[in-house]
Structures are given as C-alpha cells and as structure tokens.
Amino acid sequence: AFEIEIAGTGQIVPVASGQSAATALAEAGIEVPLSCEQGICGTCLTTVLAGVPDHRDMYLSAAEQAANDCFTPCCSRARTPRLVIEI
Ligand code: FES
C-alpha cells in the first residue's frame, strides 16, 4: 500500500494493496482517463512530481521509466510511501 498526494490541492489518496492507483483515485473523485488498464496504451499516463513509481507498464521505455516523472496509474504502483502527482 502507498499513498498519492495530488499536487496543488494536497489531497491524499490511499492506495490499498489490492486496488490499482487509478481505482483509488476514482473512488476519491479523481477521474484518470483509462483505456486498456493493462499498461499498454498510455492513456492513463500521469505526471509524477515526487516519489518513485514502481513501473509495471509496457508503454514507457526503460529510460522513460527511469526518469521518474510519469507513471501509468492503471497498473503501476510506488516504491516510495508516497507519490505526488499532477492531475
Ligand atoms: Fe492503458 Fe493505463 S489505461 S496504460
């Protein structure tokens, strides 16, 4: 489990182990556009300002994943207790 902070509003959204980040955000009233929900299409790509994503997509290149500046909330998680994202 980890938490997501929404930059600007400071809203904190907890992501439980069994749910996706996109689902947790939707339950908190923050809709991320989704399509494949499998890390393939990139539709859900979201800017990351702080924290380290645990990339589980096949959309970003290894270099893009290593940049730690975006992630796919449909399938990816976090290596740090908190990710700060920009919606
Ligand atoms: Fe396709 Fe997330 S919805 S990569």
Measured from the CA of 40, which atom of ligand 1 is nearest? Answer: 4
Give the SS3 label for residue 33. Answer: coil
pLDDT, average across residues 58-69:
98
Over pLDDT 90: what percentage of the chain? Answer: 100
| 19 backbone φψ class: left, alpha, beta (φ>0; ψ -120 to 50) | beta
Which protein residue's CA is at the shortest distance from atom 4 of ligand 1?
A: 39
Average per-residue pLDDT for the chain: 97
Task: Give the model's pLDDT for residue 58.
Answer: 98
What is the value of pTM for the model shown?
0.95
pLDDT, average across residues 35-50:
98
Give the ipTM of the model, two decimals please.
0.99
Question: Does the Cβ of 54 fall within 6 Å of ligand 1?
Answer: no
Task: Give the model's pLDDT for residue 66.
Answer: 98
The best mutation among 40, 56, 58, 64 to test binding of ligand 1, ranked by most ligand atoms within 8 Å of the C-beta, falls on 40
